[in-house]
Amino acid sequence: MMTKPQPSNFKWGLRSNMKNIFIIVLLTALTGSLVANRNAAEPQDMVRYVDFSRCMTESIAHQSAIANLAANFAPIREQLEQRAAVLQKKYSELEIKDPSSESYAVLRSQIKYAEENLKFDSQMAQRQASDNENELFARVLVQINQACAAVGERNGYSALFAKEMRLNIPFPDVATKVDVLSKRTLNWSNPAYDVTDQVIEMLNASVAQRQGAAEPPQQQ
């Protein structure tokens, strides 16, 4: 017996899977510089901490990219929802038809075909959205690490580490919570040694520099 399809929500939000983010900071030494001709301070025995979650939230470029991604997928989401609504109506039509009639068999076949197509197109759209989200996530991680390298070199810090994960965030289940918390390498950091503001400033300054370089010179 065929069941009525339920309209999909088609939510397109950036995933916030920060499970392994603390290991990303190890890439800091491998990233390039963001700001040219800066004066590096003498190396000092100082460790500082960076809140990657805040960096993502307050990165102008990253938030703009998220907004653009959502805008690009809005028409696709709307189209899929419209197709789901049409399919729902066809199911209602099928209910009032005589199961032994030819029209019932034809409509039932049409519904099955439309349902399979909708399912396939929805899966493809969701996969594309997921790929784009992951690409944005990877890009902002590289940008944050580049900003960390710039701030660390400028101030002569010996290392910059990702801050510890907040404990008040919701977990999908207990097993995930145990897995995430047991694997984190930093349990506490002194707020006095937080340099997140500097890293965010570096992130957004680099965006302003790129935009300024892209603008054509004004004619006198």
Whole-number pLDDT of residue 18: 43
Whole-number pLDDT of residue 214: 56
Delimit the domains of the chain by residue range.
21-214
Residues found in the chain: 220
Whole-number pLDDT of residue 95: 94
Task: Report the percentage of the chain scoring pLDDT > 90.
Answer: 60
pTM, rounded to two decimals: 0.67
Taking the chain (220 residues) in consecutive chunks of 10 residues, what is each chunk's mean pLDDT?
47 41 39 44 75 94 95 96 96 94 95 97 96 96 95 93 82 87 83 95 82 56
Whole-number pLDDT of residue 8: 45
Name the phi and psi angles at 92, rounded to 5. -65, -40
- Given a contact cutoff of 8 angstroms between Cβ atoms, the answer to whether 49 and 195 are in contact is yes
What is the four-CA torsion angle of 140, 211, 129, 127, rounded to 10 degrees? -70
85 token code pair: 């609504």
Tell me which H or E stretch contains 47: strand 47-50
185 token code pair: 């390498």
**Cα 208 from Cα 141, distance rounded (Å):** 19
Whole-number pLDDT of residue 169: 78
Q: Give the number of other CB atoms < 10 A from CB of residue 150.
A: 24
